[in-house]
Amino acid sequence: MMDNSWFLFAIGCSFFNALHGVIIKKLTRILPSRFIVWAMFVFAIPFIALIIVFVDMPQVKPIFWVALFSVVLINALGITLYVKALNLSPLSLTIPFLAFTPLFLIFTSNLMLGELPSKLGIFGIISIVIGGYFINIEHIKKGFFAPFKNIYREKGSLLMLIVAFIWSVTANIEKICVQASSPVFYILLFHIIFPIVYLPIMLKTGIKVSKIKGNIKMLILLGLVEAVFIIFQMFAIQLAYVSYVIAIKRAGLVFSIIFGLLFFKEKNILLRLAGALFIVLGVFFIVMR
């Protein structure tokens, strides 16, 4: 029987993931995107290390190492595109498209974990498509299909759709990692290995040390929020199906749209919020499958 505590972990992950996007959005205005990708993992390590001293060393299965390095390499692409999307387009036009991850999970989880979608999942797909339409509905004056076309014209939205697919793959691999070790052990190793692999890419930015020192408080905050939301996610994934956890996580896009209004004064929020609610409805249809 599934432990209901997974839902609390998933809700916590949802909120802090939205806050994570806000911090990254602010940092992209003053720091190179590739440096931010590298820094979010490096600055999270101390906070994760504080937790690992309180947990037992897990018995690590051989498949863990294959899965770990696979998810590191795939995420190098996914996270770079994620930060780039936030830099190119408004928060409320990018983050909502991560709600498509549960949609893609219908197919990737079927292939990788043997999970089969139900008819209820079809209603979820329809609801998500309607939500994607309403997010771009301010372009309706250009034609009925203009909002759909704008998804491809808005570079940040298109990149985030690609990220949504990439993360539908890595979410399944992460579950393999967690099951073959433990949530905290996997998270710590990932946050150590990823910045090492990503270091050559980051160094190409040529960022100055003075620039880092001038934004150290925001970088520490980014590391803290990164650690909290990813720990919540891994514990939730250990206790529940991947599609359930990611769906609840993506339902937090409502937080992202509100944050877009509060922190960045983004416009057309009510229209985008209406679209987001359709996407949330679709997410829950998929969860209920």
Boundaries of every domain in the chain: 5-287
The alpha carbon of 146 is separated from its chain's Cα centroid by a whole number of angstroms, namely 27
DSSP letter string, 6-36: HHHHHHHHHHHHHHHHHHHHHHTTTS-HHHH
pLDDT for 53-83, tens place per residue?
A: 777 788 899 999 999 999 999 988 998 888 8
Structure tokens at 176: 């393999």
pLDDT at 210 over 50: yes
Structure tokens at 253: 């896009």
pLDDT for 84-104, tens place per residue?
A: 887 787 766 776 677 778 778
- The span from the CA of 135 to the CA of 243, in Å, is 23
Alpha-carbon dihedral angle through residues 70, 76, 81, 86, given to the nearest 10 degrees? 120
One-letter amino acid at 215 equals N
Closest CA to 170 of 150, 192, 188, 186: 186
- The span from the CA of 203 to the CA of 169, in Å, is 28
pLDDT score at 143: 58
Helices (H), the chain: 5-27, 33-42, 45-52, 63-88, 91-94, 100-113, 119-135, 146-153, 155-179, 183-203, 209-214, 216-239, 242-251, 253-264, 269-287
- The span from the CA of 112 to the CA of 75, in Å, is 17
pLDDT score at 102: 78
**How would residue 240 be classed by pLDDT, with cut points 50, 70 and 90?**
confident
